[in-house]
Amino acid sequence: MVSALGMAAVLGGCGIGSGGSDGVTLRLVAADYGDSESTGSQRYWDELAESYESGHPDVDVEVTVYSWNDVDRKVREMVDAGDAPDLAQIGAYADYADEGLLYRADDLLSIPTQADFVPQLAAAGRVNGVQYGMPFAASTRVLFYNRTLFAEAGLSAPRSWADLAAAAEALKADGVAYPYALPLGPEEAQAETMQWMLSGGGGYTDATGTYSIDSPENTAAFTWLKENLVDKDLTGPVPPAKLNRADAFAAFAKGEVGMLNGHPSLMAMAEKQGVKYGMVPTPGADGPSGSTLGVTDWMTAFKKNGHAEEAGAFLDFVYDDENVLDFSRRYDLLPVTGSASETMAAAEEDQDLKPFLDELLTSELYPVGETSWAAVSAQIKKEIGKAVAPGADPGAVLRLLQTAASRADDAS
């Protein structure tokens, strides 16, 4: 998920839709990207629906906003109860597509809207070449570093693994608690894991889309990570297997972390606490990584209620540049459309997001089109921290994860 926090709320009676419809109500379930009532996504959807209502009085949209802790489960419960919403903005789509429950994107969207999606994001929303998942919000990862701590240690930003290890050694010598924060705890270990795999030339899957978790490249990356950072006590007082991403971010915002991989929301956290930070592309084995992790959340449209025309008309409005940019700027996220991305890249007000935007075109996403991914991701969160534990064999842990992934893939 791109973000996680929020509240449950319901917005009702907002007119949307297309001419020729009569008394249709669209139900939308959405995830909350805010961290308080004042910043919650209810406000965004409320304003969006109100704006749309004046020109489209024939259809009502009822929007229910849930926190990221609840939204995927709530939608699954609704679907299992035979009460699927018309639209759901959630974290995954492949299971529903596999069950034949979703409209194809080209059954809903106008050609210009569908063609405007960022290619990597659109491709990740396809199953067997058909797009069912419509990207809604995106982010990438870069390496954040504490500029004050680096200046005190006489360091420049790292470009390679060797640079990163040397910087971590110097930061430790200066008494920094977390020279490099390595969150392989159960909250979001699949993200940090993929970052390290990509920086070593690997990834979760090979060129054919087959799981390759125990590839030589991945094994080399985790062996290097264990031997050069973890075993040398350069990753802080909390064992990586128990360090969650949220805790690592909070420690960075307190000035306790020298370096970590982060997404755009970390900027506001650090600025709020007065931490001066820099951002560079993820260091790789021999220089900047050729690819970084990209993450997107999804808009889906269920066929249950048969409102393809009304849902499509509303989604064309949702993906209008003005609305995409509004959402992205509110929550420090990246636009999912090419035209909005071009606008953001050129806008002075968005320069803080440019490092992330620059990474988007070369980013790689989780294998979200695989129905097995949810099970594989859960297993990675549970087990990957063991790969860098004292006395562990990283290759053996990756082989166990590969076996579990192959079984999950066969089962799906």
DSSP state string for 221-254:
HHHHHIIIIITTT-S-SS-GGG--HHHHHHHHHT
The structure's pTM equals 0.86
State yes or no: pLDDT of 357 exceeds 60.
yes
d(CA 42, CA 7): 9
State yes or no: pLDDT of 1 exceeds 60.
no
State yes or no: pLDDT of 4 exceeds 50.
no
State yes or no: pLDDT of 22 exceeds 80.
no
CB 23 within 8 A of CB 57: no
pLDDT digits (tens, 9 = 90+) for 179-207: 999 999 999 999 999 999 999 999 999 99
Higher pLDDT, 193 or 120: 193
Q: Quick one: which H or E segment has residue 301? A: strand 293-301
pLDDT grade for 121, boundaries at 50, 70 and 90: very high
State yes or no: pLDDT of 223 exceeds 80.
yes
State yes or no: pLDDT of 10 exceeds 80.
no
- Written as one string, the DSSP assignment of 202-224 is --SB-TTS-B-TT-HHHHHHHHH
pLDDT digits (tens, 9 = 90+) for 97-117: 999 999 999 999 999 999 999
Question: In this predicted structure, what is the pLDDT of residue 317?
Answer: 95
Question: In this predicted structure, what is the pLDDT of residue 37?
Answer: 78
Which domains are present in the chain?
Answer: 9-139+295-364 (3.40.190.10), 142-291+372-411 (3.40.190.10)
Q: If you average pLDDT over residues 388-403, what whole number do you get?
A: 98
CA 158 to chain centre: 24
Question: In this predicted structure, what is the pLDDT of residue 34?
Answer: 85
Residue type, 368: V
State yes or no: pLDDT of 6 exceeds 80.
no
SS3 call for 138: strand
pLDDT grade for 82, boundaries at 50, 70 and 90: very high
Cα of first residue to Cα of last residue in the chain, in angstroms, is: 22
Question: In this predicted structure, what is the pLDDT of residue 193?
Answer: 98
Q: Is 295 left (phi over 0), alpha (psi -120 to 50) or beta?
A: beta
For 29, the token pair is 């379930």
Q: CA angle, corner 327, sides to 324 and 332, nearest 5?
A: 115
Q: If you average pLDDT over residues 336-340, what whole number do you get?
A: 96
Pairing of β 293-301 and β 134-140? antiparallel
d(CA 64, CA 16): 15
pLDDT grade for 24, boundaries at 50, 70 and 90: confident
CA 75 to chain centre: 19
Q: If you average pLDDT over residues 17-33, what whole number do you get?
A: 74
Question: In this predicted structure, what is the pLDDT of residue 15?
Answer: 32
According to DSSP, residue 102 is labeled: B
pLDDT digits (tens, 9 = 90+) for 26-58: 999 999 998 777 888 988 998 898 887 778 888
